[in-house]
Protein backbone atom coordinates (compact mmCIF):
# COMPACT_ATOMS: atom_id res chain seq x y z
CA UNK A 1 0.00 0.00 0.00
CA UNK A 2 1.40 3.40 -0.95
CA UNK A 3 2.00 6.18 1.58
CA UNK A 4 -1.11 8.11 0.60
CA UNK A 5 -3.34 5.02 0.71
CA UNK A 6 -1.89 3.98 4.08
CA UNK A 7 -2.65 7.46 5.48
CA UNK A 8 -6.20 7.25 4.13
CA UNK A 9 -6.71 3.86 5.81
CA UNK A 10 -5.78 5.48 9.15
CA UNK A 11 -7.95 8.56 8.64
CA UNK A 12 -11.57 9.57 8.34
CA UNK A 13 -12.91 12.59 6.50
CA UNK A 14 -15.22 14.91 8.39
CA UNK A 15 -17.34 17.53 6.66
CA UNK A 16 -18.73 20.35 8.77
CA UNK A 17 -19.86 23.83 7.82
CA UNK A 18 -18.84 23.21 4.21
CA UNK A 19 -15.25 22.33 5.16
CA UNK A 20 -13.65 18.90 4.96
CA UNK A 21 -10.93 17.81 7.36
CA UNK A 22 -9.11 14.58 8.03
CA UNK A 23 -9.11 12.99 11.49
CA UNK A 24 -7.86 9.76 13.02
CA UNK A 25 -10.20 6.91 12.03
CA UNK A 26 -10.54 5.87 15.69
CA UNK A 27 -11.99 9.19 16.84
CA UNK A 28 -15.53 8.95 18.20
CA UNK A 29 -18.23 11.61 18.48
CA UNK A 30 -18.62 13.37 21.82
CA UNK A 31 -21.83 11.63 22.75
CA UNK A 32 -22.78 10.30 26.16
CA UNK A 33 -24.68 7.41 24.57
CA UNK A 34 -21.38 5.66 23.85
CA UNK A 35 -19.65 4.75 27.14
CA UNK A 36 -16.37 4.47 25.20
CA UNK A 37 -16.19 8.28 25.52
CA UNK A 38 -14.85 7.90 29.09
CA UNK A 39 -11.79 6.06 27.73
CA UNK A 40 -10.75 8.83 25.33
CA UNK A 41 -8.53 11.89 25.59
CA UNK A 42 -10.06 13.61 22.56
CA UNK A 43 -13.39 13.36 20.77
CA UNK A 44 -15.14 14.75 17.72
CA UNK A 45 -17.58 17.56 18.47
CA UNK A 46 -20.60 16.61 16.31
CA UNK A 47 -21.78 20.23 16.30
CA UNK A 48 -18.85 21.65 14.35
CA UNK A 49 -16.60 18.70 13.42
CA UNK A 50 -13.81 19.98 15.66
CA UNK A 51 -11.52 17.62 17.58
CA UNK A 52 -11.65 18.61 21.25
CA UNK A 53 -9.63 17.37 24.21
CA UNK A 54 -11.51 15.65 27.01
CA UNK A 55 -10.39 14.99 30.57
CA UNK A 56 -12.19 12.16 32.33
CA UNK A 57 -12.18 11.68 36.08
CA UNK A 58 -13.54 8.36 37.44
CA UNK A 59 -15.49 9.11 40.62
CA UNK A 60 -16.11 5.45 41.45
CA UNK A 61 -19.18 3.34 42.04
CA UNK A 62 -22.39 4.99 43.26
CA UNK A 63 -25.89 3.73 43.84
CA UNK A 64 -28.65 5.91 42.40
CA UNK A 65 -32.37 5.61 42.90
CA UNK A 66 -34.12 5.76 39.53
CA UNK A 67 -37.88 5.31 39.32
CA UNK A 68 -37.94 3.80 42.82
CA UNK A 69 -35.25 1.20 42.17
CA UNK A 70 -31.60 1.21 43.17
CA UNK A 71 -29.12 1.10 40.29
CA UNK A 72 -25.40 0.45 40.73
CA UNK A 73 -23.51 2.96 38.55
CA UNK A 74 -20.05 4.31 37.82
CA UNK A 75 -19.81 8.10 38.04
CA UNK A 76 -17.47 10.11 35.79
CA UNK A 77 -16.75 13.81 35.44
CA UNK A 78 -16.07 14.86 31.84
CA UNK A 79 -14.30 18.14 31.19
CA UNK A 80 -14.17 19.50 27.66
CA UNK A 81 -15.85 22.63 26.30
CA UNK A 82 -17.87 22.41 29.51
CA UNK A 83 -17.99 20.06 32.48
CA UNK A 84 -20.65 17.44 33.05
CA UNK A 85 -21.18 14.49 35.34
CA UNK A 86 -22.32 11.17 33.87
CA UNK A 87 -23.34 7.85 35.38
CA UNK A 88 -23.36 4.49 33.53
CA UNK A 89 -24.85 1.24 34.79
CA UNK A 90 -22.98 -2.07 34.84
CA UNK A 91 -23.98 -2.73 31.21
CA UNK A 92 -22.55 0.61 30.04
CA UNK A 93 -25.93 2.28 29.60
CA UNK A 94 -26.27 5.97 30.36
CA UNK A 95 -28.29 6.29 33.57
CA UNK A 96 -27.97 9.99 34.35
CA UNK A 97 -26.10 13.13 33.37
CA UNK A 98 -25.95 16.60 34.82
CA UNK A 99 -24.33 19.88 34.02
CA UNK A 100 -24.37 23.43 35.28
CA UNK A 101 -25.70 25.94 32.75
CA UNK A 102 -24.16 29.42 32.29
CA UNK A 103 -26.89 30.86 34.57
CA UNK A 104 -25.82 28.36 37.31
CA UNK A 105 -28.99 26.29 36.97
CA UNK A 106 -28.48 22.52 37.05
CA UNK A 107 -29.66 20.45 34.10
CA UNK A 108 -30.31 16.86 35.17
CA UNK A 109 -31.09 14.20 32.57
CA UNK A 110 -32.33 10.70 33.43
CA UNK A 111 -33.01 8.70 30.24
CA UNK A 112 -34.10 5.47 31.98
pLDDT digits (tens, 9 = 90+) for 70-87: 999 999 999 998 899 999
From the CB of residue 7, how many other CB atoms can be counted at a distance below 10 Å?
Answer: 11
pLDDT at 112 over 70: no
What is the C-alpha to C-alpha distance for residues 70 and 61, in angstroms, rounded to an integer? 13
From the CB of residue 77, how many other CB atoms can be counted at a distance below 10 Å?
Answer: 14
Percent of the chain with pLDDT over 70: 86
Query: What is the tally of structural domains in the chain?
Result: 1
pTM score of the predicted model? 0.79
Non-local CB neighbours of 70 within 8 Å, separated by 6+ positions? 63, 64
List the one residue out of 92, 98, 101 whose CA is nearest residue 110: 98
Q: Which residue segment(s) compose the domain that 19 sits in?
A: 3-109
pLDDT at 17 over 90: no
Amino acid sequence: MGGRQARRAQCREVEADGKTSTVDKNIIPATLWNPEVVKRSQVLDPKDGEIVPIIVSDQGVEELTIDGRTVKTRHYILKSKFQQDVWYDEKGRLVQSSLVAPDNSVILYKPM
